[in-house]
Structure 1
C-alpha cells in the first residue's frame, strides 16, 4: 500500500520564485526546489495538481557589487513570496513495462521586494543612494515537455526530465525588483528516488544543471549553474495516512562565468549550501488523495548570492 500510494501521488516539477529575478545574483532555478518523493514521476495514467508556496528572505554581503537589471547595487536585501500552480499529465503512452512518460507546466505568481544602495549614474565620486523597489505578478513559466521514469523495483526509481523556463514575467531595465528574467533557460535533471515500502525509509537525490540564454535588454548572459538536492527521511503511520520526517539539503554552484557586454563585474560565479528539516503527510482529505510536504532550508557557505532562509510548502492532489 505504501509504495502504491507514493507512486500514484508523487509528481515532478518545481516553480520559479527567484530570489532576485536578475542576472548575476541568482538563476532561474531556486536551490532546494526538488529533493524528495513528492518530486517523482507518476507511474500510471493520471492528472495531478500541485500548489507550491515559497517564502524567502536573504541579503548579500555588504561589499559585493551585484549587477541588477543594468544597475550596480550594494548591500542588497531581498524578500520574496511566490505561489506556483502546477499541472502534471501522465498520458496513456506505453513505453514498456518499467517506463513511464509525463509532461508538466508550472505557472508562478511572484511578489518581490528588493532594497539596495544603487550607484548614481555618471557620478565621478561613485556615490550611492538607498532605494527600494517591489513588483508582483506572473513570473517565468516553467515547462516540462519530457519526463521519464524507470521503475527498478517497488523501492527504487530513476528518472530524467528536461525543464524550460520561458520569459513570461515582467522585466524592466533599471528596476531592482522584477518578476521575470527576460531570457530562456533549459534544465536537464537526473534523479534517484529510493523509498522502501516495508521500512518506510527514503533517500532521494536530484542532480541538475541550468543553461541560460542572453538577456537581450542588458547584453548579459548568466553562466551555467549546477545543483544537487538530497533528502533522507523516515515514513510512518500518522492520522490515518503516512507521515514523514527527515533532513533535506542542497549544493548549488555556478560552474561557468557570466559573459556578454553587460557583464562588467567579472564572472560572478556563485555558490551556496543549504540544510534543514522536512516533514510530509500522505492520505485522504475529504475523499481526495493528498500529499503535503513542508521544509525549511538555512543557507551557509554562500558566495555572490543572497544568504538567508527559505520555507517551502507543497500540496499535491490527485483526482
Structure 2
C-alpha cells in the first residue's frame, strides 16, 4: 500500500500531545499475512481459520509551524494484527462469507512528541464481515467487507479515538478465468467522538472519508493452488477531519 495525503492548512489535527496545522504524509506499508486453517470437521461448509499480519511500514510526515515546515519519519514493524475467522461457502462454490475478529496489538514504535509514528500505542478490536459472490455465467463478481474498529485509550496521551466504521466494496467483470476489471469503493465513517483534552478542544474530532476508483484482478496458478492478484487506486473525497489523498493497493495471495 502507498498513500499520499494532506490536510487543509486551517485544519487542526491532534498529533501526540499537541495540535498541529498543515499535516502532510507519505505512507508505505508492506504487510505479510498468513492464514492457518486447521483440519476440523465443522460441517455445513464451515471453516475455522486463524490469521496473523506483520506490517513493515515507512511514514514521512510534515506540519506547518509558523510557516516553517517541520518533518519527521519513522520506519519498522507496525502494529501486528491477529485473530480468528469463521468462513462459509455455498455448495456451488460461487458464494463465500466470513466473520472475523481482527485484533491490532500496539507493537509499532510510538513517541507522543513525534510527528510521525507507525504505531498507535493502543489496542484495537475490529469485528468484520466479508461476502463474495460470483456469477459463473456472466463473470460478474461482487465483494463486500464491513467492520467497526473499537479503540482503547492511548496511555501516553490520555486520548481515545472513537469507534470507526469501514466498508469496502468492489464490482468486477471477469472476461475469462484470468483477468477482470472493476470498480473499488470504500467508506470510513467515525461513529463516536474522540475523548480526551485535545478532543474536547476540537469538538470530538469525528472524521469521515470516501473513496472510489478502478481495480484490476488476475487469477493464475492451478485450481488446487491458485494465485490471486489485484491492483486498485482509491482517490478520496468528502473528507472531514482527516487527510485527503490517494491510496494505491497491490494484493497478492496464494494457497499452499
The aligned counterpart of 2:41 is 94
Secondary structure at the aligned position of 2:232 is classed as: strand
The aligned counterpart of 1:243 is 179
The aligned counterpart of 2:153 is 214
Equivalent runs, 1:1-319 vs 2, <5 Å = 54-118=1-65, 129-144=68-83, 146-152=84-90, 153-237=92-176, 242-263=178-199, 264-284=201-221, 289-319=226-256
C-alpha distance after superposition, 1:197-239 (max 9, x if no partner): 33321011111100000000000000000111111001132xx
CA contact (8 A) 1:108 1:140 kept: yes
Structure 1 length-normalised TM: 0.76
C-alpha distance after superposition, 1:131-173 (max 9, x if no partner): 10011111001112x2112223422222211100000000001
CA contact (8 A) 2:19 2:198 kept: no
The aligned counterpart of 1:21 is none
Cα displacement (A) at 1:262: 4.4
The aligned counterpart of 1:37 is none
Structure 2 length-normalised TM: 0.94
Cα displacement (A) at 1:266: 2.1
CA contact (8 A) 1:154 1:196 kept: no
Distance 2:50 2:229 in 1: 21
**5+ residue gaps in structure 1?**
1-53, 119-126
Secondary structure at the aligned position of 1:202 is classed as: strand
Aligned pairs, how many? 253
Cα displacement (A) at 1:179: 1.1
Distance 2:198 2:112 in 1: 12
**5+ residue gaps in structure 2?**
none
Distance 2:151 2:253 in 1: 29
More strand, by proportion: 2
Moved >3 Å (runs of 4+):
none
Cα displacement (A) at 1:288: 6.6
Higher RCO (Cα < 8 Å, 6 or more apart) = 1
